[in-house]
Amino acid sequence: MAIGVFDSGVGGLTVHRELTRRFPGRDFVYLADQANAPYGGRGGEEIVELTRAGCARLFDAGASVVVLACNTASAIALRRLQQTWIAGERDRLGRPLNVLGIIVPTIEAATGLPWSYEAERGGRLEGQKKSSLEVTGVFCTAATAMSRVYEIEIDKRRDDLAVFSEPCPGLAGLIELGASTEELKVVVDEHVDALRRRIGRHPDKAVLGCTHYEIVADLFMSALPPETTLIHQPSAVADALERYFTRHPDYPLGDGGRRDFLTTGVPGPQSERVSRFWGEPLSFDPA
| Contacts within 8 Å (CB) and 24+ apart, 270-277 | 270/10, 270/178, 271/10, 271/177, 271/178, 272/178, 273/175, 273/178, 273/181, 273/215, 273/216, 274/10, 274/13, 274/178, 274/215, 277/13, 277/14, 277/215
The only residue of 211, 228, 263, 270 in contact with ligand DGL, by rule CB under 6 A: 211
To the nearest whole angstrom, how small is the minimum distance from the Cβ of residue 139 to ligand DGL?
10
The only residue of 1, 2, 5, 7 in contact with ligand DGL, by rule CB under 6 A: 7
Phi, psi of 75 (to 5 degrees): -70, -40
Q: Is 40 a residue that touches ligand DGL (CB under 6 A)?
A: yes
Handedness of CA 79, 39, 204, 231 (dihedral sign): positive
To the nearest whole angstrom, how small is the minimum distance from the Cβ of residue 4 to ligand DGL?
16
Choose between 117 and 164: whose C-beta lies nearer to ligand DGL: 164
Q: Is 140 labeled as catalytic in the residue annotation?
A: no
Choose between 118 and 211: whose C-beta lies nearer to ligand DGL: 211
CA distance 217 to 11: 12
80-139: contacts with ligand DGL (CB under 6 A): none
Q: Is 70 labeled as catalytic in the residue annotation?
A: yes
To the nearest whole angstrom, how small is the minimum distance from the Cβ of residue 70 to ligand DGL?
4
Chain position whose Cβ is nearest to ligand DGL: 40
Pairing status of strand 229-231 against strand 268-269: unpaired
Give the three-state DSSP class for 255.
coil
Q: Is 144 a residue that touches ligand DGL (CB under 6 A)?
A: yes
Q: Is 141 a residue that touches ligand DGL (CB under 6 A)?
A: yes
52-60, 181-189, 209-217, 262-270 -> range binding ligand DGL (CB under 6 A): 209-217
Residues with Cβ within 8 Å of 183's Cβ and at least 6 positions away in sequence, in order, are 174
Q: Is 216 a residue that touches ligand DGL (CB under 6 A)?
A: no
Pairing status of strand 161-167 against strand 134-140: parallel
Choose between 76 and 192: whose C-beta lies nearer to ligand DGL: 76
Stretch 63-82: interaction string toward ligand DGL, x if CB under 6 A: -------xxx----------
Choose between 7 and 27: whose C-beta lies nearer to ligand DGL: 7
DSSP-assigned letter for residue 138: E
The only residue of 18, 26, 30, 38 in contact with ligand DGL, by rule CB under 6 A: 38
How many Å from the N-terminal Cα to the C-terminal Cα in the chain? 17
Choose between 167 and 203: whose C-beta lies nearer to ligand DGL: 167
Q: Is 167 a residue that touches ligand DGL (CB under 6 A)?
A: no
To the nearest whole angstrom, how small is the minimum distance from the Cβ of residue 256 to ligand DGL?
28
DSSP-assigned letter for residue 14: H
| Contacts within 8 Å (CB) and 24+ apart, 248-251 | 248/98, 250/96, 251/1, 251/64, 251/65, 251/96, 251/98
Which of 237, 242, 21 has its CA nearest to residue 110?
237
Query: What residues are annotated to the active site?
Result: 70, 210
- Contact positions toward ligand DGL, by CB under 6 A? 7-9, 11, 37-40, 70-72, 141, 144, 172, 210-212
